Amino acid sequence: MSRIGKKAVVIPAGVTISVEGQTVSVKGPKGALSWTVSDEIEISQGSGELTLTPRAETARARSMWGLSRTLVNNMVVGVTTGYEETLELVGVGYRAAMNGNALSMQLGFSHEVNVPPPAGISFAVPRPVEIKIAGIDKQLVGETAAKIRKIRPPEPYKGKGVRYGGEVVRRKEGKKK
């Protein structure tokens, strides 16, 4: 039995969920999201909550049960509070700035790196060495942060590069004489 799948998804005030077949649509104050649940999962909407149950006791149905519940809950949280990821720039001369909607970064290359925001994502630069990525889709926020980090990942000798907020980089010892 899935411990996560057994929990019902609580629908907060101001959020409307509509279920049409296997498609779950969530609308809230920050926007709207929809996702199609696997055929192995049955969706039932009660008063103020949404329950997901497997239709059969197969391994795939059990594995999709917890995943489906988590993804639907992530949509509910996304349209109410949203998601935010923080990136830190570590290195001499590494800095970021906004160029219209796009993010413009200087990361030690001979050129500036410009990153346009995908649909539904917004960038903010509170300090020149800090980037905030915000949106309602948890997967898209994380994927955008990973793509920006991949441009200049932190290296193990000096720790220079783009890090997630609070990420600890394991440092290697340098050359010895």
- What are the 10-residue block averages of pLDDT along the chain, 177 residues in total? 86 92 94 94 91 92 93 95 96 94 94 95 96 96 97 94 93 88
Q: Are the C-beta atoms of 86 and 149 separated by less than 8 Å?
A: no
pLDDT at residue 1 in the model: 65
Give the pair of three-digit tokens for residue 1: 């039995």
| All domains in the chain, ordered by first residue | 3-80 (3.90.930.12), 83-164 (3.90.930.12)
For the chain, give the DSSP string: --HHHHSPEE--TT-EEEEETTEEEEEETTEEEEEEPPTTEEEEE-SSEEEEEESS--HHHHHHHHHHHHHHHHHHHHHHT-EEEEEEEESTT-EEEEETTEEEEE-SSSS-EEEPPPTTEEEEEEETTEEEEEES-HHHHHHHHHHHHHHSPPPTTT--EEEETTPPPPPPP----
